[in-house]
Amino acid sequence: MMRLVLVGTSHHHAPVEIRERVALDPTEGAALAARLGEAVCLSTCNRTEIYVAAEDADAAEEQAVAALAALEPDVEQALYRLRDQAAALHLFRVAAGLDSLVPGEGEILGQVR
């Protein structure tokens, strides 16, 4: 059975200095996602999140944490981890602008797309 795993950090959990060090441009995000398998990286000025679809959720989570920690070791203390329905619900909240620094911001939908 495939599981959905989310590992990320945002303005809720990390100061801007840490978020800047784990921010990925679209090319870097695509390369990281390709290394992780069935994955997508969402990286904006206020968040970096990795979504992975995998049968082994624990291994997928470990790999995603390691990938972000390779960019910035101090990020580990600021990471959140969600799975399955909670991860999907979080993504919908992000896309709808409900989890933005400015609630209702519409720009994030284009970044998610």
Residue 19: phi and psi, rounded to 5, are -60, -35
Provide the 8-state DSSP code for 4.
E
Give the pLDDT score at 111: 63
User: pLDDT digits over 21-75, tens only?
Assistant: 999 999 999 999 999 999 999 998 889 999 999 999 999 999 999 999 999 999 9
Give the pLDDT score at 45: 80
With contact defined as beta carbons under 8 Å apart, do 32 and 7 qualify? no
User: pLDDT digits over 6-19, tens only?
Assistant: 999 999 999 999 99
Task: State the catalytic residue, choosing from 2, 45, 86, 89.
Answer: 45
Burial of 80 by CB count in 10 Å (0-12 exposed, 13-18 middle, 19+ buried)?
middle
Q: Quick check: is 41 catalytic? A: no
- Using the predicted structure, report yes or no on whether residue 88 has a pLDDT greater than 60: yes
Please give the residue that has the higher pLDDT: either 107 or 3: 3
